Every structure is written in structure tokens, then in C-alpha cells.
Amino acid sequence: MDYKQQAQKVIERSEELESQLQRPDILSDMKRMTEMGRTHKGLAESVAKAKEYLAILADQQEWEKAAVDSSDPEMQQLAFTEVGRLRERVPVIENELRILFIPKDPNDLRAAILEIRAGTGGDEASIFAGDLYRMYKYYIDSRGWKSTLLSESEGTVGGFKEVFLEVLGEGVYGTLKYESGVHRVQRVPATEAQGRVHTSAASVVVMPLADEMDEIEIKDADLRVDTFRAGGAGGQHINKTDSAVRLTHLPSGLVVTCQDERSQIKNRAKAMNVLKSRLLDKQISEREAAESAARKSQVGTGDRSAKIRTYNFPQGRCTDHRINLTLYKLDAVMKGDIQELIDGLVMEANAEKLRELEKQG
């Protein structure tokens, strides 16, 4: 890779976008302005590193010239020292640029909707879904992101049958997207009299949050809207009005229910937001699957049926099967200490992208 050429290109691309974002025709087109703004923002780190790299190359050239041209021994010695220091720094920055030049997914900067559903395992699966919800909530809070509960359906003995959480913040989707898949727990349930270890599961789906700029068209004719009385587990907190809303998108078969608000209008708005994000997620998945065979590899597929992680309580370990990473600090993980897992997944995904780039030459 010609790092100098690539560094110049990324700086020129950023400057070009910055100039275009000032044009009246772009400023008047909110969709184009938003898309270009996301791309420009996504280049910021690469641009800063590219400028640092070019400055180091320029400094190295100046010191090399001084080492040859100067007749002052002290100046020559200083020049040789600086040239040596800069030559050591160059490959370090080139390695950083190598990672930064990996094509970015503009959706990585988006906020996200986090969906957790109880799977196999009955009541224990619902309890585990609640544990995962708290784990992610701890992590979200530690990052300074803002979260809002969109919808929940409680389990009969605790936890959730399903729960939706909107997470706002920069880079939320890019950070959490590899959490999508089946999470499995191995432990002795509180209701197990003989102390036997049971295995239960819950599925996690992370979707990029749709906004008003996305072309997600939902025709009235394609939407069935049902209203009903909201109620908690065991018939508790039942409203006397039909405030709960269920939206069925007929072409895709997607169904979204929201009953958290007392207002039917608010529940419909929340449900519509989730539905649009699900349709956006579907569009992205289909496009990526068509564009790249690399999506078939485990990391980055977002395969919602794949077993991705096991939480083994008797052994106090958490294992991510995609990258063969095992952490023996399950208590900390369940309290939101999952950054090491996320970093490992992102590193492996980047390595896959680099391998793909190298194949393409």
C-alpha cells in the first residue's frame, strides 16, 4: 500500500466533502446533507492520522537533508538522532493508517435499537433475558449513552419474554452490532431442587436506528394496526382503554408491539420507530449479503440464529465462540464489563476486511 498516496487521498476527500457541504443545493437537501455529513464525520480520525503521517515524512526529509548538508557536527548529530526517531515512528503510524483505511460502514455512527428475546429454556430463559438487559444497561451507562425503554413483555417469574431498548449516542450501532445472535447460559436455576445445571438461551438483535432521512416507505395499505388493552405479567396494571398497539407490516411479515405508554398515539409512534429500524436493518443485511462473500464468515454476519456466546456460571466463565475468547470474570461481565469482548470482535472483523482487501489487491 502506498501510504503517502492514500493519506493524501483521504485528506482530499474530506476537504471535498467539507466544500460540498457548504453548497446551497446540498444545504437544501436534508437527506444528501445528512448522508454526506455522516461520511465526513467518519473520515475525521483517518484525516487527523493522515496529516500526522505526512508531517512526519516532511520532517524526516528535512532532517535527512540537514544531516547531509550541514557542516556543523552538533547539527549533524541532532539530525541523525531525529532521523532515527522519525524512522521508528513511520511504521507505527503506517500500521494505524492500515486499520483506519479499512472501508467504514456509515451506519456505524448511528444510534441503535437493542432487542432481547427469551429463547429455549422456559422461565429460566426469561430470567436470562433480564440478566442480559441489565448487562447491556450497565455497559450503555458506562459509555455515557442515553437509553430509553421502548417496549417490554415481562416473564411470568421475572425477566423478560422480550424487551426493546433505544440507545442514543455516537457510534452505538458500530460498537454493539456484533452482539447480534444467540446467547446461551449454563447454570443451576433457583427452582432446581436437585442442583442440576440447565442450559437456556436468549437472542439479541442490534439494529441501526432509522431517522427521518432514511427512505423507509411504509404504505398505509401495507400496514395492519391492532389495538388492545395493555397489561403486565399475570394481568397486572391493565389499562381500561385500548392503548397498546400492534403493527404488522404485511409485505415483510414483521410484527411490532408496544404497550408501555398510556397513550395509544405514543405507543404507535414508538412501534413505528422500531418497525422502520427493522426494515432498515433488513435492507442493510440484504445489501451486504449481496455485495460481499466475506459476510459469510462468522464475525460480522449478524446471523440471528448463530450461537455466539456462552455464559457458564458454575465455571465463572464467558466464552465468545466466534473469536475463541474466554474470560474468567463472569461476575464482572454480567455487570457490564464487556469492552474486552467487543474490542476482540471489532479487531477480528477488521482483520477479515484487511484480508479481503489484500485478496482484491
Residue 261 has pLDDT above 80, yes or no: no
Asked if 229 and 245 touch (Cβ cutoff 8 Å), the reply is no
Residue 215 has pLDDT above 90, yes or no: no
CA gap 358, 361 in Å, rounded: 5
CA gap 6, 56 in Å, rounded: 15
What is the fold, at CATH topology level, of the domain defined by 217-291?
A: Double Stranded RNA Binding Domain (3.30.160)
Is it true that domain 3-100 has CATH number 1.20.58? yes
**What DSSP string runs through 119-148?**
-SSTHHHHHHHHHHHHHHHHHHHHTT-EEE
* Radius of gyration for the chain, computed over Cα atoms and rounded to the nearest angstrom: 26
CA gap 126, 96 in Å, rounded: 43
Degrees, nearest 5: CA angle 279-280-282: 65
Asked if 146 and 176 touch (Cβ cutoff 8 Å), the reply is no
- In the predicted model, what is the mean pLDDT of residues 216-243? 68
Residue 346 has pLDDT above 50, yes or no: yes
* Torsion angle defined by CA atoms of residues 41, 47, 48 and 50, in that order, rounded to the nearest 10 degrees: 160
Could you tell me which residue, 85 or 284, shows the higher pLDDT? 85
Residue 278 has pLDDT above 70, yes or no: yes
106-131 pLDDT tens trace: 788 889 999 999 998 889 999 999 99
What integer pLDDT is reported at residue 284 of this predicted model? 77
- In the predicted model, what is the mean pLDDT of residues 173-201? 89
Closest CA to 160 of 196, 224, 208, 114: 114
What integer pLDDT is reported at residue 234 of this predicted model? 37
pLDDT band at 11 (very low <50, low <70, confident <90, very high): very high
- In the predicted model, what is the mean pLDDT of residues 245-253? 89
Instruction: Kindly report the average pLDDT of the chain as a whole number.
Output: 85
* All structural domains of the chain with their residue ranges: 3-100, 108-209+295-361, 217-291
Closest CA to 202 of 180, 187, 232: 180
What integer pLDDT is reported at residue 231 of this predicted model? 59
CB atoms within 10 A of CB 2: 8
Give CA separation, 277 vs 114, 258, 308, in Å. Answer: 10, 14, 23
- In the predicted model, what is the mean pLDDT of residues 305-315? 91
Residue 240 has pLDDT above 70, yes or no: no
CA gap 37, 55 in Å, rounded: 26
| Percent above pLDDT 90 for the chain | 45
What integer pLDDT is reported at residue 274 of this predicted model? 86
Among 171-180, 314-323, 349-358, the least confident range: 349-358
Closest CA to 163 of 266, 260, 278, 265: 260
Residue 293 has pLDDT above 60, yes or no: no
Is it true that domain 108-209+295-361 has CATH number 3.40.1280.10? no
Residue 136 has pLDDT above 90, yes or no: yes
What integer pLDDT is reported at residue 214 of this predicted model? 64
